[in-house]
């Protein structure tokens, strides 16, 4: 069976966040590492647009989280938790967050995007041109980099896909070059456009 069929079966052919049955698509929960069944949800176009574009958030639409936050599936719970944190200034989301429970691994996954932090607390990672980097982005090295502790040199022009961020230092990101996981300084990378 395909991932789409698995998610349709799991969700009963409805958005796993708001239960809409219109314009459903597979949404991979960031940062995308494995995606697949345990890292994706079936979501409607309205939910996806508001997850991706914070300026388009309609707080009333997300009252649906009162139900979906109790899902037994990790990616659904993680997205519900993130959206409730984005909306907590509304008042009612904080009440739901106080009731919500996530296992340690689910909470760690939920916190990876920093949605739970106030803007003043967030560590912002920027590439050499000042573009904001997020977990799951792809970058290109803009110069040859020696990898500490090895004889390896990561060559200029190498693509590093699905980066993760150091939440304590805005200059450090991590990613794989070949089979090796390395720490890279953001001054030496350029964010790749989605279609590159």
The domain made up of 123-191 has a fold known as: SH3 type barrels. (2.30.30)
**Domain coordinates in residue numbering, the chain:** 3-111, 123-191
Three-state secondary structure call for residue 130: coil
From first to last of the 196 residues of the chain, give the pLDDT tens digit: 798 999 999 999 999 999 999 999 999 888 765 678 888 999 999 999 998 887 788 999 999 999 999 999 999 999 999 999 989 888 899 999 999 999 998 988 888 776 666 655 567 788 988 888 888 889 999 999 888 777 888 899 999 988 888 877 888 898 888 888 888 989 999 998 765 4
Q: What are φ and ψ of residue 156, in 5° steps? A: -55, 140
Angle ∠(103,172,158) on CA atoms, nearest 5: 110
Note if the pTM is more than 0.75: no
């Amino acid at each position: 069976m395909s991932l789409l069929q698995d998610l349709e079966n799991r969700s009963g052919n409805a958005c796993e966040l708001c239960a809409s049955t219109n314009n459903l698509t597979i949404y991979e929960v960031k940062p995308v590492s494995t995606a697949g069944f345990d890292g994706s949800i079936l979501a409607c176009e309205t939910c996806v647009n508001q997850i991706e574009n914070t300026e388009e958030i309609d707080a009333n639409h997300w009252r649906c989280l009162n139900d979906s936050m109790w899902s037994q599936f990790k990616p659904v719970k993680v997205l519900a938790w993130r959206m409730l944190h984005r909306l907590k200034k509304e008042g009612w989301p904080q009440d739901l967050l106080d009731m919500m429970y996530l296992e340690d691994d689910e909470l760690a996954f939920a916190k990876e995007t920093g949605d739970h932090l106030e803007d003043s607390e967030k560590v912002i990672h920027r590439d050499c041109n000042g573009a904001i980097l997020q977990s799951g982005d792809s970058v290109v090295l803009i110069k040859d980099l020696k990898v500490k502790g090895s004889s390896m040199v990561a060559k200029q022009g190498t693509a590093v896909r699905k980066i993760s961020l150091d939440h304590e230092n805005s200059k450090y990101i991590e990613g794989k070059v070949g089979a090796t996981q390395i720490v890279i300084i953001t001054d030496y990378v350029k964010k790749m456009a989605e279609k590159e």
